[in-house]
Amino acid sequence: MLFVDLDNFKVINDSLGHDAGDRVLVEAGRRLSRISRSGDTVAASRDEFVLLCRALQDDDDVHFIASRAVRAVARGSCTGQRPHRHRSIGVAVTSDPAAAPGVLLQQADIAMYEAKTAGRTASVSLAQTPARAATNYDFVADICRAIDNRAFFVPLADN
């Protein structure tokens, strides 16, 4: 499963209008549909797209379809004024045909945010394991607790 997010999409709607934003979304959906294979599914919600790929045989197949998705959205989307090229892509892979689709979607979403925080305009990140995601959640919760308990101290610079 590939989770594709058009980064900073709100800027298009705010600066060029919702009609231009709609054209960008339609074009991104068309491009992802064109690179999908028979039996694959493309779905969209707001500025995010999911490409569910069935019957990938190995890591090379995963890399191939992810590379095609990166190139498809990398060409930019025509708004009549300038291209929108910023996107983040997360990939989640399972060999279990009975894997819960919701879990796979969650892992692909986590991987997409991991790619986004890497600060690249196009990134592909393999999904983290649920144990690693739980560890990250626990870490953030610990930091929030420390802030609430005033356990952090920021030294003031002597000026």
Q: Catalytic pick from 22, 47, 138, 148?
A: 47
What would the two tokens of residue 159 be?
């000026």
What values do phi and psi take at 85, rounded to 5? -110, -5
* Cβ 32 vs Cβ 73: under 8 Å: yes
* Cβ 4 vs Cβ 121: under 8 Å: no
What would the two tokens of residue 107 be?
């892992």
Q: CB within 8 A of 105, min separation 6: which ones?
A: 1, 3, 50, 92
Please confirm, yes or no, whether 96 is among the known catalytic residues. Answer: no
Residues acting as catalytic residues: 47
